Amino acid sequence: MEHLVKRTKRKRQRRERAHLRVRRKVRGSQERPRLAVFKSLRYVYAQLIDDDRGVTLISASSLEADLRGKLGKSTGTKGAARLVGETLGERAKASGVEQVVFDRGGYVYHGKVREVAEGARSAGLSF
């Protein structure tokens, strides 16, 4: 059992280090905010962040009641991730944001992270 805890801790630390590497280069602004992705085992979260002011402009997650109604019990799947990306893209377009920089949060660009990006692109965001 102890080896599982160590492995989980190592994986989390690897992701956090990768995220710091990405954050050295990726910076959001008012004109082009940072689309940050976070995923837990149960939910998927995405937000647009203005790093100049340190403010979250728009957010979406599979935890929200209206999205959970569409998803049912599958709130942590790739389908949920795509819906989160589409919802975030629609909210961004409604508030006048069209260009973003993508921050994968230290995760590999695969699976849920990729689905969030493709969902946001299909809603009209470009990055």
- Which secondary structure element, helix H or strand E, spans residue 14, and what is its range? helix 2-25
Q: What is the pLDDT of residues 74-118, one digit of tens each?
A: 998 999 999 999 999 999 999 999 999 999 999 999 999 999 999
Chain-centroid distance, C-alpha 15: 14
Structure tokens at 26: 């990726």
Residue 72 has a pLDDT of 85
- Which secondary structure element, helix H or strand E, spans residue 39, and what is its range? strand 34-39
- Number of other residues whose CB lies within 10 A of the CB of residue 89: 27
Q: What is the pLDDT of residues 48-72, one digit of tens each?
A: 999 999 999 999 999 999 999 898 8
Beta bridge mates, 81: none
Question: Does position 37 have pLDDT exceeding 90, yes or no?
Answer: yes
The candidate with the shortest Cα–Cα distance to 42, out of 119, 112, 121, is 112
- Number of other residues whose CB lies within 10 A of the CB of residue 52: 12
Residue 3 has a pLDDT of 87
- Average pLDDT rounded to a whole number, residues 29-45: 95
Question: Does position 10 have pLDDT exceeding 90, yes or no?
Answer: yes
State which CATH number among 3.30.420.100, 3.40.50.1820, 3.40.50.300, 3.40.50.720 fits the domain covering 2-122.
3.30.420.100
